[in-house]
Amino acid sequence: MTDDTFDSGFPLATSSWDAAEYGAIQRVVDSGRFTMGPLVAQFERDFASAFGAGFGVMVNSGSSANLLAIAAAVLDERVDLQAGDEVLVPAVSWATTYYPLQQYGLIPSFVDIDVDTLNLDLSLAEAAITPRTKAIFAVNLLGNPNDFAALTALAERHGLLLLEDNCESLGAKDDGRFAGTVGAMGTFSAFFSHHISTMEGGMILTDDEATAQMLVSLRAHGWTRGLPEKNAVHDKSGDEWDDLFRFVLPGYNVRPLEMSGAIGIEQIQKVPSLIAGRRENAVYWTERFADLDSVRIQREQGESSWFGFSLVLEGALAGRRKEVVQAFAAEGIESRPIVAGNFTKNPVMKYLDAKVPAELPAADKIHEDGLFVGNHHFPVHAGIDRVYDVVAKLS
């Protein structure tokens, strides 16, 4: 695609597939094997290798990746994490950052964000730690990694388990490390609108083999099938027929399709160029909006993979988000809230046993005045100009 692709508008997301992905799909169709198999296993190896991790476990979505990461942490006898413990989470994220915590009896302890980076405010996170706090579930939002040196130091200082929800930030780096490889586990999404797409799909990275084996079991019913004879979950009996149906963990069925694995093998090879394209667009975006005091754009931490381009309305545009959204729509510019805004304002909170501060001013600002538009892996300067023109005119 080229810069003139969006003559009639500026969409939120576009496909990164070409003949390679469609060829991979056809090879799976021709093979007749559609359930999870050797191509998923190859994609797991390729994905882990691309980001310098020891092990990758593929699932059917980023949401399922979060679920299994929390499940593995709670069920692992080596980890001090159990029902009733508190887990620090940013107040701005997607719903399935929080739901697995509730489902395992953990208490999400909401912490405000930094309005510039859109990630966890680490000074507020440290102040929120109590004797019941056992973990941090950090989120790298809209492609922007956390300050990993400060984040890991905070976790180590207080003996906290560190997990990363990296579903929006594949390919981002900070302090020489890829986002999603800094904590004990990191989760990824390969949904259509994300950096790579396997139709539906998710991945969990870890450097710990025992954790990877737990994830493999949890992914498919909690059984021992797929594990080596000697493993960290439950050794097999040696009776092959009997070992097919031995259930040892309270698992799920969140397996991916073989077709998704085949597509992933092709997609992961394109990651360097996909991220480079997004980062080049971001250079133009930040330069273009540098002179507008009516919007605040995301401040890059480390090397963002720029999932999208956020705007927080200020000055003349504060309180006018609906008007901005309507003006965008009139010009064919698709936009969305910044993830879920201040998640604690959602009605679903009545089902969550959570700790919520009396005030979350930065998250509230995002909730009322935040939105984002798309980024793409090919040049979109004309689309960025279109966004700028609308914002400048309204300002």
Tell the burial category of 157 from Cβ atoms under 10 Å away from its Cβ (0-12, 13-18, 19+): exposed
pLDDT band of residue 5 (cuts 50, 70, 90) is: low
Residue 353 neighbours by CB distance under 10 Å: 13
Give pLDDT, residue 264: 98
Which pair of structure tokens corresponds to residue 229?
């004879």
Mean pLDDT of 259-281: 98
Is 80 exceeded by the pLDDT of residue 59?
yes
Instruction: Indicate yes or no: pTM above 0.75.
Output: yes
Task: Quickly count: other Cβ atoms within 10 Å of residue 8's Cβ.
Answer: 8
Q: List, in sequence order, the alpha helices (H) in 57-141.
A: 62-75, 95-103, 122-127
What's the mean pLDDT in 161-179? 97
Contact yes or no for 252/218 (Cβ under 8 A): yes
Model pLDDT for residues 286-313, shown as the tens digit of each residue: 999 999 999 999 999 999 999 999 999 9
- Give dist(CA 16, CA 201) in Å, integer: 15
Alpha helices in 238-353 (DSSP H): 240-243, 258-269, 271-288, 321-330
Residue of 194, 195, 376, 377 with catalytic role: 194
194 is catalytic: yes
| pLDDT for 244 beyond 80 | yes
Looking at residue 4, its pLDDT comes to 56
Return the pLDDT at 144.
98
**pLDDT exceeds cutoff 70 at 194:** yes
Percent residues over pLDDT 90 in the chain = 97
| pLDDT value at 3 more than 70 | no
The pLDDT of residue 7 is above 90: no
Question: Rounded CA gap, 381 and 3, in Å?
Answer: 6
Q: Could you tell me which residue, 394 or 6, shows the higher pLDDT?
A: 394
| Mean pLDDT, rounded, for 129-137 | 98
Whole-number pLDDT of residue 331: 96
Kindly list the distances between the CA atom of residue 94 and the CA atoms of 167, 206, 337, 357, in Å, as whole numbers in the listed order. 10, 22, 11, 19
What pLDDT was estimated at residue 102? 98
Q: What does the mean pLDDT of the chain come to?
A: 97
pLDDT score, position 8? 75
Q: Is the confidence at residue 186, as pLDDT, over 80?
A: yes
- The pLDDT confidence band at residue 2, using thresholds 50, 70 and 90, is low
Q: Is the pLDDT of residue 270 over 70?
A: yes
